[in-house]
Structure 1
Amino acid sequence: MKRRKFLQQGALASLSALTLGGLSTNASATPNEKKAAGQPFNMLYAPHDGMFKNSGGDNFLDQIKYMHDQGFRAIEDNGMLGRDTAMQDKIGSLLAQKNMTMGVFVVDTGNNWKTSLASGKQEFKDAFIKTCKQSVETAKRVNAKWATVVPGFYDRSLPMGIQTAHVVDALRRGAEIFEPHGLVMVLEPLSDTPDLFLRTAEQSFEVCKAVNSPSCKILYDIYHMQRNTGHLIPTIDMCWDEIAYIQIGDNPGRKEPGTGEINYKNIFKHLHQKGYKGVLGMEHGNSIKGAEGEAALIKAYRDADNFL
């Protein structure tokens, strides 16, 4: 055989092998791997400002566009109340254009991290009512439905029952403000410090039942509840009637799913089977810095979202 013909045949054989190998690899890919980048997730996972700043840019509006391109269909922004009205309007318009859902922002009275509503003092109740009214206007601009409420710290000079009554009384006033607008304040039990009044979903369930309003529900933050009580799925089921919003973070470390001990694929599957259509706020950090970490975060969510 002439050298030229031999080389040509060898090249064709190599190309054929590469092609077949590529087809074979693609055929053996998992359904999750075959899913095109940018396809919407099964659930409404909601990133926040700064989570994709290396890939989407420093401007939050550009980040939202990037989030949408990656398949996310919701955002949340704890500090939305503090943004100027022009920016709120821009965010609301962009979310409407992209058909994305606005998740929670925080009803921040400035008293969330000290003894406040549990004390029963009028000054704290007044500040809470004033901020609820401001929150209604912000919610209208960004088409938000949920707003996070943190009642503050225990007042250890008072019996627990008295503190609970004070908190319920204040929340009823807040619910009266939110109800006519179809807004929901979601109470968040937290694990940051033992001084916080709300610590468990069960306690929050009790408070919501006492307030007795469709505008007062639970924000079940899986990270905080794993740290405080564990028993995640059974507790979700017990408190289901009062849960309106869910947040995510693995433990330890409070990073994306797959970096800690929580089986998020099972939890997402359970929520999907229960018919949960709400937002799952990604209230955590990235385990890896830079654009590489942002890509790893997206992959982590694709993996955890592959439960069907």
Structure 2
Amino acid sequence: MDHQRRQFMLTAALGAAAASTSALHASQEADDSASLSWGKTRFAVNIEMWGLGGGPAQDRIRAAAKLGYPAVEFWPWRNKDLDQIRIACDETGIEVAQFTAWPFNPGMNDPKNHDRIGKEIAESIQAAKKIGARKMTVIAGNDQPGMTQEQMHENVITGLKKWAPMAEDAGVMLILEPMNIRVDHKGHCLYGSPEAVRICREVGSPMVKINWDLYHMQITEGDLCRRMREGWDQVGYLQLADNPGRREPGTGEIDYSRVFKEAWDLGYRDFIGLECSPTDGNAERATERVKAADVW
């Protein structure tokens, strides 16, 4: 065998070995990823945004349980079979962390809507009790023609003060969600943490707090950990998505490992809502990214 041929065969053999080693490492990494365990943070998967096979809410709850989630959250309850949700939760041990009491309309920022909203809250509290939910999101509303932001926020405070005793008596927390107006909710009257914190401090109820959505906060103001510390006494619930894209942690610019540690150090032990869409609709892979972010 001449020298050139021997050299060629040696090079080919080394290349094959390297490829085999690379494939082995890739396989091991995939196995490691697939075997990631859950960290300290408890997550509630949003069954609307995650899809989870489609179908009714109760089927999505069962799918969430198979992925290992201890809780779910969802948007308005009126289009769902609460009896079947209760059955699915009892079967799987899943909790409903929170749901949306009503959509964007009617807005709390207009006093002419307050009587109607009072009825919505009363009925939503009964729904919460039926499915064992302890919290429900309430929406300030879109901008009202002819009103300043200050006027709209004062109307929100007036309404929440009126409805707080209902929430306190029922043991169901009203969590007020500030949105972002740059990307997702142009024309919404409440965005960023300072005004949301001020509103809830003015209301002064242990059962009226903030649904602190870290995705909205990142777009509106950034500085996530410092802002969260500053308003911590008014945080009732945390939600997340990475930015840009509103996907699962690990797909954008936010260092969620750092944020999870901050929340833990501040004493947060409740669920964090995954109000994000899995990349490519792959719930299993998105779940592994969620687990990977909860390592700190």
Question: Shorter-chain TM-score: what band?
Answer: 0.7 to 0.9
d(CA) in 2 for partners of 1:96, 1:270: 32
Give the drift of 1:306: 2.0
Aligned twin of 2:205: 213
| Contact 1:249 1:255 (C-alpha < 8 Å) held by counterparts | yes
Letter in 2 for 1:273: D
Secondary structure at the aligned position of 2:190 is classed as coil
| Contact 1:109 1:131 (C-alpha < 8 Å) held by counterparts | no
Letter in 2 for 1:220: W
The two structures, once aligned, show a CA RMSD in angstroms of 2.6
Equivalent pairs, count: 269
Among residues 123, 128, 139, which one is paired with 1:150 in the alignment?
139
Task: State which drifts further: 65-74 or 248-257.
Answer: 65-74
Aligned twin of 1:4: none
Matching of residue 100 in structure 1 with residue 126 in structure 2: no
Aligned twin of 2:6: none
Give the drift of 1:220: 0.7
Matching of residue 300 in structure 1 with residue 292 in structure 2: no
d(CA) in 2 for partners of 1:229, 1:140: 35
d(CA) in 1 for partners of 2:126, 2:136: 12
Among residues 168, 190, 193, which one is paired with 2:157 in the alignment?
168
d(CA) in 1 for partners of 2:149, 2:35: 53
Matching of residue 53 in structure 1 with residue 47 in structure 2: no
| Contact 1:81 1:106 (C-alpha < 8 Å) held by counterparts | no
5 Å-filtered alignment, 1:68-83, equals: 68-83=65-80
Give the drift of 1:109: 5.7
TM-score, normalised with respect to structure 1: 0.79
5 Å-filtered alignment, 1:113-128, equals: 116-121=107-112, 124-128=113-117
Q: Give the fraction of aligned pairs with identical amino acids, expressed as a percent.
A: 26
Deviations 1:111-144 (A, max 9, x none): 15xxx332322xx011110100110110011100
Letter in 2 for 1:99: G
Task: State which drifts further: 296-305 or 191-200.
Answer: 191-200
Secondary structure at the aligned position of 1:148 is classed as strand
Instruction: Give 5+ residue unaligned stretches, structure 1.
Output: 1-20
5 Å-filtered alignment, 1:1-308, equals: 33=32, 36=35, 40-49=38-47, 51=50, 53-54=52-53, 58-83=55-80, 87-108=81-102, 111-112=105-106, 116-121=107-112, 124-191=113-180, 192-289=184-281, 293-307=282-296
Deviations 1:90-125 (A, max 9, x none): 21233234332212211216615xxx332322xx01
d(CA) in 2 for partners of 1:228, 1:110: 19
Describe the shift of the 1:302–1:169 C-alpha distance in structure 2 as closer, same or farther (beyond 3 A). Answer: same
